[in-house]
Amino acid sequence: MEIFSARSFWLPVMAVTLVAALFGAILARRGRELRRMLAEQAALERELAVLVAENETLRAERDALLSSPEAAERLAREDYGFTAPGEQVTEFEADVARAAKPAPEELRVSRWQKTLMWPGLPRALPASAFVITAVVFALLNIASGVREHRAR
């Protein structure tokens, strides 16, 4: 085995770096798409939970109205303002406490998905591929020179 020339050393290093840069750009775009889709999924899951809770409340209210005349009377009085003959209605304004806005949920993602969503990925992938390839080829060059020197 002969010692690598400068051309045979840098050509593979640059080729691997360019391939890694292309791969990094593709992964970064996929990571952005993944982040957008996960955020959309979380929003849809929150909306679904709200709708399921509302559905359960309405179903319970319907069942109560169908089974109890007292519940129907209460609904007529509270929601529609009906009164029995001879009754007087006095309304009070209630202090409505503003509900605190819930903290945004942390997206549940795997370690691989976090890596794909890392904004520095397009720069880090080709840089690390360049360094690793350069080190490997330098070590191979040194090993080849040592073997050739021992053979003399």
Do the domain assignments include residue 102? no
Angle at 127 between CA 126 and CA 133, to 5 degrees: 85
Do the domain assignments include residue 101? no
Do the domain assignments include residue 103? no
Under a CB-based contact definition with an 8 Å cutoff, are residues 141 and 4 in contact?
A: yes
Do the domain assignments include residue 147? yes
Give the count of domains, the chain.
Answer: 1
Q: What pLDDT was estimated at residue 1?
A: 46
Do the domain assignments include residue 86? yes
Host domain of residue 80: 6-93+115-151
Do the domain assignments include residue 14? yes
Q: What pLDDT was estimated at residue 43?
A: 93
Residues of the chain with pLDDT under 70: 1-9, 95-107
Instruction: Please tell me the pTM assigned to this model.
Output: 0.43
Do the domain assignments include residue 131? yes
Chain centroid to CA 44: how far? 13
Do the domain assignments include residue 31? yes
